[in-house]
A and B are shown apart, each in its own frame.
Chain A
């Protein structure tokens, strides 16, 4: 199954994003922890785009497409802001975050730990980030 959400670039819409993903994932019958991890990883990528690539401009939007397959789920996140290559981005060390009293930098580290595969591509009109998670067969 394929599901789509047009998410406008406001931080206040993150709650709407979470409820959308949680409804889409119902048929996958994930346990509460796994479901929360997937919601979190997608939110981290979207929050990052909303804040850093689109400066919370509510006129702009991100397109999330979820492909729910039997053996995996693919979250495809498209935007047309300045390309942010999640694969090339180096996450900071946790110790450095503490030492520098940084409030950011942990999000993409979470995404990497949660997802099985991350893909990124960009062309003239869109940046596409794909987060892939294998689902355990029942």
Chain B
């Protein structure tokens, strides 16, 4: 099960992931990011504190937007991942390509860095 909540805060969009992302529902995550881009959000924060599991289908969604983020100057930060989920990013070295922070405060700081 996955539920996704969106909220606006100052100049950024917060996408909160709740549950498990796998091949059965990664399209929902894809739609939310796609929509954020089409609405010209240029600061996107992913709240992963309640994310219990992610498979390659979910990782693939993030990876497929990295070029768009760069082209459109979108600042993108993920925070609050538990050790299991963070480890999955580490296995593939994705933490080198995506900015990942521990706390919301650190993530917001990274988001508003020039």
- Give A71 Cβ to nearest chain B Cβ, in Å: 23
- Give B53 Cβ to nearest chain A Cβ, in Å: 7
Main secondary structure on chain B at its contact with chain A?
A: helix
A15 close to B1 (CB less than 8 A)? yes
Of B10-18, B90-98, B99-107, the one with at least 4 CB within 8 A of chain A: B90-98
Beyond the given pairs A12-B24, A14-B23, A106-B56, 4 more chain A to chain B contacts, judged by CB atoms under 8 angstroms and listed by A's residue number, are A14-B22, A43-B22, A102-B64, A103-B63
Given contacts A98-B97, A103-B30, contact A11 B23 (CB under 8 A): yes
A29-59 residues at the B interface, CB under 8 angstroms: 32-33, 36-37, 40, 43-44, 47, 50-51
Does B35 sit within 8 A of A, measured CB to CB? no
A32 to B30, CA, bound (A): 27
Partner of A106, one of B53, B67, B68, B92: B92
What number of B residues sit within 8 Å (CB to CB) of A? 29
Indicate with 1 or 0, residue by residue over B64-76, a CB within 8 angstroms of chain A CB atoms.
1111100000000
Of A107-115, A117-125, A128-136, the one with at least 4 CB within 8 A of chain B: A107-115
Residues of A within 8 A of B94 (CB): 94
A33 close to B84 (CB less than 8 A)? yes
Interface residues of A (CB under 8 A from B): 11-12, 14-15, 18, 32-33, 36-37, 40, 43-44, 47, 50-51, 94, 97-99, 101-107, 109-110, 113-114
18 A-B contacts (beta carbon < 8 Å): A14-B24, A14-B55, A15-B22, A32-B84, A33-B84, A44-B55, A47-B23, A94-B92, A94-B97, A98-B66, A99-B67, A103-B64, A104-B57, A104-B60, A106-B59, A106-B63, A107-B56, A109-B92
B60 close to A102 (CB less than 8 A)? yes
Given contacts A36-B87, A37-B91, A40-B88, contact A110 B20 (CB under 8 A): no
Residues of B within 8 A of A51 (CB): 23
The 9 nearest A-B residue pairs measured at CB: A107-B56, A11-B24, A103-B60, A36-B84, A106-B56, A47-B23, A103-B64, A101-B64, A33-B87
